Amino acid sequence: MKLPAINYASPSSMEEACDLLSTDEDSKIIAGGQSLLPVMAMRLAQPSVLIDLAKIPGLDAIEESGNYMRLGPMATHTSILSSPVISKNLPLMSAAGKYIAHRQIRNRGTLGGSLAHGDAAGEWPLVLLALDGLVEVQSVRGKRTIEADDLFVGPYMTSLAADEIITDVWIPFRPRAWGYGEFARRAGDYGLANIAVVLPTEDTGTSGARITVGGSVGKIQRVTAAEDVLNGSEVSPELAKQAAEAGASELSYISDMHGSAEFRRGLVQELLRRTIVEAGERI
Amino acid sequence: MTSTSSSDRIEIDVEINGRRRAVVVNARDTLADHLRNDQKLTGTKLGCEQGVCGACTILMDGAAVRSCLTLAAQGDGRSIRTVEDLSEGSSLSPLQEAFKKHHALQCGFCTAGFLMSATELLESNPSPTRDEVVEALSGNFCRCTGYQTIVAAVLDASEQIGNANG
Ligand SMILES: Cc1cc2nc3c(=O)[nH]c(=O)nc-3n(C[C@H](O)[C@H](O)[C@H](O)COP(=O)(O)OP(=O)(O)OC[C@H]3O[C@@H](n4cnc5c(N)ncnc54)[C@H](O)[C@@H]3O)c2cc1C
Ligand code: FES
Ligand code: FES
């Protein structure tokens, strides 16, 4: 369908964008438009004004800053996937990002848009949570940071207030072993299940595993029962199996035309096992 | 255009197939709407209008994008290329010739989108592998051909272009 009638503005600074967003409660930020415009075409959203971040300088940065990678919200999926500093410092991000949609969508879609959209099967939310990242947000009321652990609260729901804009994304890059697993029926579709596993290495001790799951479970979340099994022990194929069982039985599953809850539970358990094994091999 | 106020009519300065144009567009219009209705460039097709089928694929600053998921207003300051840009007059480009030779189209509705996705690929990677071609075209649907002839055409075109460039 054609888009509903809207107004459009393209401010040249973050302050102007915050002002515009706060004056009209039905206004919305547009970044790549790859989630928002389909939602509008389906009439699931009808914002009054779209506020485009494209003309605000400096929002597409991808750079090292101390022990963190700092990424601007307007960094596109394609620019992240083709960035040598990302593949060096955050190989999990490069591995997961390949599963996002198709080239034509990755050329426009952005990191900030993906995090704010908060799809329960989105690769960037899953990875941000596994890597213990955080976002900095700004509004007319000031700035604050939100840790990934507090950001994703439900399907398409984040803890961002309606007038807040993501201005920076910070991801620490200490040495960590990682694994990524995703199952989709067709390449490029949102995954029926996706899993990210981050394990500590010899230098960092044996505790601090972070395992995240998306897709079949309604919202991006950590699989703490599986983390608990792994923490303090050396990863073996047997331990991976135990952790996957513990993790899969802790979660609750959605059931729809794409798969029953039972099918999804089996899928998540096996993906968990494989992805923990994969990460274990990188320790 | 930069302004702090919002409007339902937006002035943009956009280059389309090599010609710069200053135009006023509706805020609600997608780039596909603008190309087809205002510019009468109807080679770009609209199928699903929600980013799934790829029929509307065009190039924006050299990158393949969905023109149904890009606002016309977001074209400001950008360079757009559509399927109309590929041929010179009535002489087809090597890629278009290869589509013809390999029967890579039947109804033709998907063709402009495939051509533009393939153009981005061949411009950034002149000798792609078969897997790279399949990956680059994976976001385009074709309900007629079964895809094999399209992949063969793109691989053939990459050889033709390689030979022509010595
Ligand atoms: C066919 C198709 C398949 C797809 N498959 C996948 C997939 O497999 N995996 C995946 O992860 N994604 C997928 N996507 C979505 C795509 O990755 C989007 O690019 C992404 O979800 C949103 O990014 P965007 O820049 O396009 O955001 P937009 O669509 O512009 O915005 C999305 C939301 O975020 C808000 N927003 C944007 N930027 C900010 C900001 N800086 N601060 C605060 N709020 C902001 C907007 O107001 C809006 O509510 C798919 C999309 C399509 C059309
Ligand atoms: S019309 Fe744009 S992707 Fe289908
Ligand atoms: S030729 Fe008919 S859809 Fe592709």
Of A112-116, B98-102, B162-166, minimum mean pLDDT range: B162-166
Task: Tell which of A27, A29, A53, A102 to mutate to test the B interface (max B CBs under 10 Å).
Answer: A102
Report CA(A196)–ligand 2 centroid distance (Å). 31
Is A11 in contact with B73 (Cβ distance < 8 A)?
no
Q: Nearest CA to CA, how far is B67 from chain A (Å)?
A: 10
ipTM over 0.85: yes
Q: Does B76 lie at the interface with A, CB-CB under 8 angstroms?
A: yes
Mutate to test the pocket of ligand 3, among B57, B144, B149, B154 (most ligand atoms within 8 A of CB): B144
Report CA(A38)–ligand 1 centroid distance (Å). 10
Residues on chain B touching A103 (C-beta within 8 angstroms): 64, 117, 120, 135-136, 138-139
Residues B71 and B27 sit within 8 Å (Cβ to Cβ) = yes
pLDDT of residue B1 exceeding 60: no
With bands split at pLDDT 50, 70 and 90, how would you rate the model's confidence at B164? confident
Which residue in the set A4, A8, A188 is minimally distant from B71, CB to CB?
A8
Report the alpha-carbon distance of residue A260 to residue A172 in Å, rounded: 37
Q: How many CB atoms lie within 10 A of CB B163?
A: 9
Q: Does A104 lie at the interface with B, CB-CB under 8 angstroms?
A: yes
Q: pLDDT exceeding 90 applies to what percent of chain A?
A: 91
* CATH T-level assignment (fold) for domain A178-280: Enolase-like; domain 1 (3.30.390)
What are B137's strand-pairing partners?
Answer: none
With bands split at pLDDT 50, 70 and 90, how would you rate the model's confidence at B89? confident
Q: Does A45 lie at the interface with B, CB-CB under 8 angstroms?
A: no
Q: pLDDT exceeding 90 applies to what percent of chain B?
A: 92
We find that the CATH architecture of domain B94-165 is Orthogonal Bundle (1.10)
Q: So what's the pLDDT on residue B99?
A: 98
pLDDT (average), residues B45-66: 98
The residue whose two tokens read 């209705």 is B37
Q: So what's the pLDDT on residue A204?
A: 62
| Residues contacting A100, CB < 8 A, separation 6+ | A77, A106, A109, A114, A123, A124
The continuous run of DSSP H or E covering B121 comes out as helix B111-124
Q: Does B50 lie at the interface with A, CB-CB under 8 angstroms?
A: yes
pLDDT of residue A32 exceeding 60: yes
DSSP result, A127-138: HHHHTT-EEEEE
Report CA(A260)–ligand 2 centroid distance (Å). 30
Q: So what's the pLDDT on residue A205?
A: 65
Written as six digits, the tokens of A124 are: 């960037």
pLDDT of residue B51 exceeding 50: yes
pLDDT of residue B3 exceeding 80: no
pLDDT of residue A167 exceeding 50: yes
In this predicted model, what pLDDT tens digit does every residue of A177-206 receive, in sequence order? 999 999 999 888 999 999 999 998 876 666
What average pLDDT is seen over chain A?
96
Q: What is the pTM of this model?
A: 0.96
Q: Ligand 2: list residues with CB < 6 Å.
A: B 46-49, 51-56, 66, 68
pLDDT of residue B33 exceeding 90: yes
Q: So what's the pLDDT on residue A246?
A: 98
Q: Nearest CA to CA, how far is B60 from chain A (Å)?
A: 9
Report CA(B68)–ligand 2 centroid distance (Å). 6
pLDDT of residue A107 exceeding 50: yes
Q: Does B33 lie at the interface with A, CB-CB under 8 angstroms?
A: yes
Q: So what's the pLDDT on residue B2?
A: 43
pLDDT (average), residues A163-173: 97
Report CA(A140)–ligand 1 centroid distance (Å). 24
Report the alpha-carbon distance of residue A32 to residue A34 in Å, rounded: 5
Residues B137 and B151 sit within 8 Å (Cβ to Cβ) = yes
* Three-state DSSP state, B11: strand
Q: Nearest CA to CA, how far is B96 from chain A (Å)?
A: 20
Report CA(A60)–ligand 2 centroid distance (Å). 26
Q: So what's the pLDDT on residue B147?
A: 98
pLDDT of residue B4 exceeding 70: no
Q: Does B133 lie at the interface with A, CB-CB under 8 angstroms?
A: no
Q: How many CB atoms lie within 10 A of CB B90?
A: 5
Q: Structural domain boundaries of chain A?
A: 7-52, 62-172, 178-280
Q: Nearest CA to CA, how far is B140 from chain A (Å)?
A: 9
Q: Nearest CA to CA, how far is B41 from chain A (Å)?
A: 18
Closest by CA to A194, choosing from A79, A104, A116, A100, is A100
CATH 3.10.20.30 applies to domain B2-85: yes
Mutate to test the pocket of ligand 1, among A100, A127, A156 (most ligand atoms within 8 A of CB): A100
Residues A8 and B27 sit within 8 Å (Cβ to Cβ) = yes
Which residue in the set B2, B28, B54 is minimally distant from A3, CB to CB?
B28
Q: Structural domain boundaries of chain B?
A: 2-85, 94-165
Atom from ligand 1 closest to the CA of residue B66: 53
Q: Which phi and psi angles does A18 have, rounded to 5°?
A: -65, -40
In this predicted model, what pLDDT tens digit does every residue of A54-69 receive, in sequence order? 999 999 999 999 999 9
CATH 3.40.630.10 applies to domain A7-52: no
CATH for A62-172 (3.40.47.10, 1.10.10.10, 3.40.50.300, 3.30.465.10) = 3.30.465.10
